[in-house]
Structure 1
Amino acid sequence: MRNGSTIRRRQLARQLRLLREQAGLTIEAAAPALDWSSSKLSRIENAQQLVDVHGVRSMLDHYGVGGEKWTELIELTREARRPGWWRAYGLNDYGYVPLEAEATLLREFMVMYLPGLLQTEDYARAVFDASATRWTAEQKEREVTVRMIRQKRLTSDEEPLELSAIVEETVLRRPVGGPAVMRAKLERLVEAAALDTVTFHVLPTAVGAHAGMGGAFTLLSFDRLGEPDMAYVEHPMGAVHLEKDEDVARARVVFDHLRSAALGPAESVALVEGMAEKL
């Protein structure tokens, strides 16, 4: 479920750049020997252009790389080029889903609706119905299916994904999809919170002003790949990936402040259960 993501491409690009530098070559010196322009080599090293196996072999030859490192880089090149499972549902390799597919830990703060990994199908449909995007029935069902596939990693033994989620209390109380959808949503939260991979917090409305009033965000960690953390911010006009150390560090601080202000996991589940009983 993890093939072809931008994370693999970035991992490959970084290693290729490091190997060139270790060989004592500048981009201007290396590119002509590879029959490439300097701009093409720069794009490859910045993960803006994907390179094929033949190109990587030429690079490794020129940089004097062999043995296990050769084998490792060739396999990584193949992995980076394999289409991810999301392609079958009309998604490309540059959105959020490919990033999540490589992540080992998500820290999410949500202010308008539940995290996608905790939604029921009917709740997801209701969210899509309310979107400014004009989905066709087929597109909407495709998006819902993708969301359900993503949730499987929360219970996967081979590719587990850990989720630490904080949601504002208003998210739980917002009437999305009607009473039956609301009740199912709350029951789903209780079930998910019992998973070893899920930590669920509610930020009470009574807290008042808080560090996350600027909006929702997600922190992605890639411990298995040794990649640096990344922050992802979705907004009505699109989304932004934040990779600078200072931006990601600020997101971590905000998340920690919010977690400190939120109810603990047991209290959060009790609140959800109480709300479900009243419906």
Structure 2
Amino acid sequence: MRSGALVRRRQLARTLRALRLHAGLTIEAAAPQLDVSASKLSRIENAHQGVDVHMVRSMLDLFDVGGARWTEILDLTREASVKGWWRAYGLDDKCYVPLEAEASTVRDFTVTYVPGLLQTSDYARAMFESSLRSRSKETLEREIRVRMIRQERLTSTIDPLRLAAIIDEPVLHRPVGGPTVMRAQLQHLVEAAALDSVELQVLPTGTGAHPAMGGAFTVLSFEGLGEPDMAYVEHPMGSVHIEKKEDVGRARLVFDHLRSVALEPPESVASIERVAAQT
């Protein structure tokens, strides 16, 4: 089982809604029989509110679900209630980390910095310290630790994560943290590119105009969970999760185009090594 529960909560919500509809009940008709308000039932079905095993048992009784399906849904309910490891670091289930924790593949295009999954701790520290957001020393250390924990899945055999990363070439020349930190970061990229789980490409400046000039983006895939792909965009004022099928499809197409015009992985590594030698 993967290390998060947010995606499973979404699975459970979708399943409960489908069972209610199959039973021929509206939310208004089902809610009183479950001793909850229609608004609460709606929040449960939209994964905006968690639900415990006792409530789900009542719902399965009402929707006339039994046998193996009963056991399967109760197991899913328990999995959806598990608190993710990030809670211990002050993060809630509304941020990016819980989604990545259950993803099987991450496609990441970055234009101003090295992807978080490939950053050294010193590079990450310099990134966080450059932000205008005020952080205590303890908060800063927690955020760096979270970033390092996320990277562990790239070498995990139990809970693996595949990463396809495309880095805009100027990122390699931006000395985040100074020359020493940047040199170590470039070497780390070379080492990460050797992992079976990582496909690293550099988009050369000479490529000219391309479909992603509007900015960086990430596409998450959840193989084995039955969840559709999701896109994620981070910007200076916050972030946005994109779930609309057509929009996510466009994001995948753009990423595939970038992959086709970027340097091949061996050439990308050679490019990074050349920059490192000059840093």
Whether the TM-score (by the shorter chain) exceeds 0.5 is yes
Q: Which amino acid aligns with 1:78?
A: R
Aligned to 1:134: 134
User: SS state of the match for residue 201, structure 1?
Assistant: strand
1:7 alignment partner in structure 2: 7
Superposition deviation, residue 30 in structure 1: 1.2
- State the alpha-carbon separation in 2 of the partners of residues 96 and 137 from structure 1: 22
Q: Is the deviation greater in 32-41 or in 56-65?
A: 32-41
Amino acid at match of 1:271: S
Q: Deviations over 1:37-94 (max 9, x none)?
A: 2211111111111111111000001111112111111121111111110001000011
CA distance in structure 1 between the partners assigned to 2:4 and 2:60 by the alignment: 21
Letter in 2 for 1:224: G
The residue identity in structure 2 corresponding to 1:268 is S
Residue of structure 2 equivalent to 1:147? 147
Residues 1:94 and 2:72 aligned together: no
Structure-1 separation of matches of 2:190 and 2:29: 59
CA distance in 2, matches of 1:39, 1:128: 39
1:172 has 2:172 as partner: yes
Residue pair 1:3, 1:79 contacting (<8 A) in 2 also: no
Name 1:40's counterpart in structure 2.
40
Question: How big is each residue's C-alpha offset from its partner over 1:125-183, in whole Å with a ceiling of 9 and x where there is no partner?
Answer: 00001112111111111111011110000000011000000010011110101111111
State the SS of the aligned residue for 1:202: strand
Secondary structure of the 2:107 match is strand
* Cα distance in 2, alignment partners of residues 261 and 238 from structure 1: 29
- How far does residue 18 in structure 1 lie from its aligned partner after superposition? 0.9
2:267 — aligned with what?
A: 267
* Structure 2 counterpart of 1:97, one-letter code: V
- Deviation for aligned residue 1:4: 4.7
Q: Which amino acid aligns with 1:242?
A: I
- 8 Å contact 1:2–1:98 — kept in the other structure? no
Match in the other structure for 2:56: 56
- Do the aligned partners of 2:4 and 2:102 also contact (CA within 8 Å) in 1? no
* CA distance in 2: counterparts of 1:2 and 1:95, whole angstroms: 17
Q: C-alpha deviations, 1:82-119, integer Å up to 9, x for none?
A: 11100010000110000000000000000111111100
TM-score (norm 2): 0.98
CA distance in 1, matches of 2:13, 2:33: 18
Paired position in structure 1 for 2:229: 229
What SS does structure 2 have at the residue aligned with 1:64? coil
Number of residue equivalences: 279
**Is the contact between residue 118 and residue 188 of structure 1 (CA under 8 Å) also seen in structure 2?**
yes
User: In structure 1, how many angstroms separate the alpha carbons of the residues matched to 2:233 and 2:69?
Assistant: 36
Deviation of residue 275 (structure 1)? 1.3
Per-residue Cα deviation, 1:168-221 (whole angstroms, up to 9, x for no partner):
001111010111111110110011000000000100111122111111110000
Give the partner amino acid of 1:192.
Answer: A
Q: Is the 8 A contact 1:2 1:84 kept in 2?
A: no
CA contact (8 A) 1:44 1:50 kept: yes
Query: Percent sequence identity over matched residues?
Result: 68
Q: Name the residue aligned to 1:246.
A: 246
Q: State the match for 1:78 in structure 2.
A: 78
The answer to whether the Cα contact below 8 Å between 1:57 and 1:74 also exists between their aligned partners in 2 is yes
Deviation of the 1:3 alpha carbon: 4.5
Deviates more, 1:24-33 or 1:122-131: 24-33
Provide the C-alpha distance between the structure 2 equivalents of 1:270 and 1:208, rounded to a whole number of angstroms: 21
Opposite residue 46 of structure 2, the aligned amino acid is N
Gap runs ≥5 in structure 1: none
